[in-house]
Amino acid sequence: MIVVPVALDPPYEVRIGAGARRELARVVASLGEVRQAAVVTQGALVDAGWLEGLDPKVPFDVHLLGDGEAAKSLASVEALCRSFARDGLSRADVVVAVGGGVVSDVAGFAAASYHRGTRYVNVATSLLAQVDAAIGGKTGVNLPEGKNLVGAFWQPSGVLCDTETLSSLPEREWRCGRGEMAKYAFLGGADPDASLLALDVEEQVGRCVRIKAEVVAADETESGERMSLNYGHTLAHALEAEGLADAGAGALAHGEAVAVGLVFAALLARRLGRIDDERVALHRRVVAGFGLSAELPAGADPDRLVAAMGRDKKARHDLAFVLDGPDGVELVRGVAPEAVLATLAEMGPRP
C-alpha cells in the first residue's frame, strides 16, 4: 500500500493499492464520534460489487447519483442534501463518496454545503478520480454556461484509491484517466520526461498523487501555483462547453479532451517563444504513449472555442492559459486571440 500524506490543516492521507476501500472503517474511526454515514455512489458501481466489503462500521444509507456530466448539477446537490436531512445526518457524521470524478465532485460539494460543512471521505474507483478528482478538495458542479462554475474548496478527511476497482473500467474510462495522468509528466519540478509511461498503474497513481499533494499543500485555494494542475484544461473545458466532449459515444471523454488540450498548450507555448520543438515533441510522445489522440474533433469552431476559453475560471476578462516555459508550467495571462486562433488552425480537426 502506498501512503501519501497531504500536509494541510488538518492533514489527511491518500492510501493507494488493491483493496484500499476496505480501509474505510479505520478512516471513519479516526474522525471521532461518527454515528452514521451517507454513502454516495452510482448504480454501475453497486452492480459491479464494489460496495461489498465497504463497511464504515456505523449505520449508513446509500444515495445514488445519475451517470455522466448531467449528474454534475445543482439539482443533484439539492437532492443529496434533502436526502441527508431526511436521514437525520448531522454535522458530526460523514459523507462517503464511492466512485469516479462525478461522484467526488458532487458528493464533496454536497458535503461542503450541508450544515455549512460536513466531513467526507473519497473512495476513488476510477483512474481519473485516483490521480486527480478525489484529491485536493476541489468540489463542484456544472452550469449550462460552463463546466465547474459552482463549487467549493472542501478537503476530504481521507482518500482511498482502490486499484482493484480499475479492473471493471471500460476502455473509455481508462483513456479519461490517462489524459489527466499525462499532464503530470510536466509537473512536479523535475525535468519533464516520459518515464511515467514505464511504471505500473499503482506506481503511476502514486507519482501523480505525490505531485498533486505537494501542489495542494502549497496553494490550497488555487491562488497561484495550484493553477498548474489545470494544464491542458482550458481548451478541454471549451470543447466540453461546446458539446464536443462528454456528450455521447462519438464525442471526446474528458481525459481525451485534456490530451488534446496538452498538445494545444505546447503548440501555443512554442508560438509564444516559451518552448522549442523538442519540448512539443515530448508532449506528443507522452500523449501518444497513453494511447490518446492530439487532434481537434470534427466540428470544432475556432471562434466559438476562443469565446468559451474566455469564460474559463482562470480568465480575468482576457485569455489565460497554463503554459510550459523556461520556468516550468505556469499561468500566462493576456494571450492574444490571434495567437490562439493560429494555434487551433495549426492543429486542424480530426477526419
Catalytic residue among 69, 202, 222, 240: 222
- The DSSP secondary-structure symbol of 36 reads -
pLDDT above 70 (res 104): yes
Catalytic-residue membership of 119: no
Nearby residues of 10 by Cβ (< 8 Å), 6 or more positions away: 157
Domain spans of the chain? 2-168, 221-347
pTM of the model: 0.90
Give the CATH fold of the 2-168 domain: Rossmann fold (3.40.50)
Measure the CA–CA gap between 54 and 19, rounded to whole angstroms: 10
- Which cell numbers in the block locate residue 89? 445526518
Catalytic residue among 254, 270, 283, 313: 254
**Closest C-alpha to 103, from 78, 66, 148, 150:** 66
Amino acid 273 reads: G
The average pLDDT across 101-128 equals 97
pLDDT tens, 262-285?
999 999 999 999 999 999 999 999
pLDDT tens, 202-254?
999 999 999 999 999 999 988 888 899 999 999 998 988 777 665 454 578 88
Which pLDDT score, from 0 to 100, does residue 241 have? 79
On the question of a cis peptide bond just before residue 337, with omega within 30 degrees of 0, the verdict is no
Catalytic-residue membership of 212: yes
> Dmax over Cα atoms in the chain, in whole Å?
59
Residue 338: exposed, middle, or buried by beta-carbon count in 10 A (0-12, 13-18, 19+)?
Answer: exposed
pLDDT tens, 52-96?
889 999 999 999 999 988 999 999 999 999 999 999 999 999 999
Catalytic residue among 230, 274, 283, 314: 230
**Closest C-alpha to 26, from 67, 54, 60, 66:** 54
Which pLDDT score, from 0 to 100, does residue 249 have? 47
Q: Which CATH architecture has domain 221-347?
A: Up-down Bundle (1.20)
Catalytic-residue membership of 116: yes
Catalytic-residue membership of 180: yes
Helix H or strand E encompassing 41? strand 37-42
DSSP 201-230: HHHHHHHHHHHHHHHHHH-TTSSSGGGGGG
pLDDT above 50 (res 138): yes
**Closest C-alpha to 101, from 139, 74, 63:** 139
| More confidently predicted of 166 and 242 | 166
Express as a percent the part of the chain with pLDDT over 90. 79
CB 216 within 8 A of CB 136: yes
Catalytic residue among 15, 21, 72, 138: 138
Catalytic residue among 175, 183, 233, 314: 233
- Which cell numbers in the block locate residue 204? 503511476
Catalytic-residue membership of 254: yes
> Which 3 state secondary structure label does DSSP give 50?
coil
Catalytic residue among 63, 175, 212, 313: 212
Catalytic-residue membership of 226: yes
The average pLDDT across 17-43 equals 96
Catalytic residue among 69, 173, 180, 202: 180
Among 67-71, 153-157, 245-249, 308-312, the least confident range: 245-249
Among 125-139, 242-256, 335-349, the least confident range: 242-256
pLDDT tens, 116-127?
999 999 999 999
**Closest C-alpha to 14, from 165, 220, 178, 205:** 205
Catalytic residue among 33, 52, 86, 116: 116
Catalytic residue among 226, 270, 274, 313: 226
